[in-house]
Structure 1
Amino acid sequence: MTMPTFHHLDIPALDDWLAGEARLTLVDIRDPLSFAQGHIPGSCRLDNDSVATFLEEATPDIPLVVVCYHGHSSQQAAAWLAGQGFREVYSLDGGFTEWQHRHPDRVAR
C-alpha cells in the first residue's frame, strides 16, 4: 500500500506563487497565539477543532500549502491531508519562522 505523498516547497517558490497570485490554499497549523502574532497573508489557521469544517469546505483540486513553525510538523499534516483527497499538497520548508525572517514586511497580524 502506498502512502499519499506531499511535496516540499521552499520560501522563494511560495513567494513567487503569491506574487503571481497563484490559486492556492494556505493553512497554518501553529497554535492560536502564534498565528495571531503573525502569519503569512491569506493563510487560515487549521487545528483539530477546525479540520472537519475545512475538509467539507476546501477544494481538493487547488494546491494546498501547510505551514508550521519550522517545516517539520507540517510534513506530517501534509501527508495526512494528501490522504484526505487533496491532489497537490505541500509542506513549507523552513515554516513561518523562515518566512518571517526573509519577509518581515509580509506578515499579517
Structure 2
Amino acid sequence: MRIQEDKTNLGNIEISPEVLEVIASIAVTETDGVHALQNNFASGNFEKIGKKYRGRGVKVETRDNEVRLSIYVSLSADRNVHETAERIQKNVSQTIRNMTEHDVKEVNVHIVNIK
C-alpha cells in the first residue's frame, strides 16, 4: 500500500512503507537508551539471501492514509524502560512527520530484551 498526497498541481507524491521503515529505524537507533533494534522474521530472511534490510525491527502498516508502526527493540539495562519507550514513540512520530508531513496514528513499542 502506498501513502499518497496531492500536494501540487504537478501530481501525487507516493511514499512506500519501506521508506517509512528506514526513517523509523533511524529515529529509534538515535533514541537514548536503545541498545539495538531486534530482528523480525522478514528482516532475517532478507539478510540470509544477501540483502541488507535497513528497516530491521520495524513493521509499518498503512491503511486509509494512516500510518501504524510496531517497533521491536532491546533496551540498555541502565535506563528507565517506560521513559525510553515513550521517547521512542515521540522520536519516531516526530521524525516521520518532519520528513514526510504524515501524522502517525500509532507507534507500538515491543521491548524484546534488556542488555
TM over 0.5: no
TM-score w.r.t. the length of structure 2 is 0.30
TM-score w.r.t. the length of structure 1 is 0.31
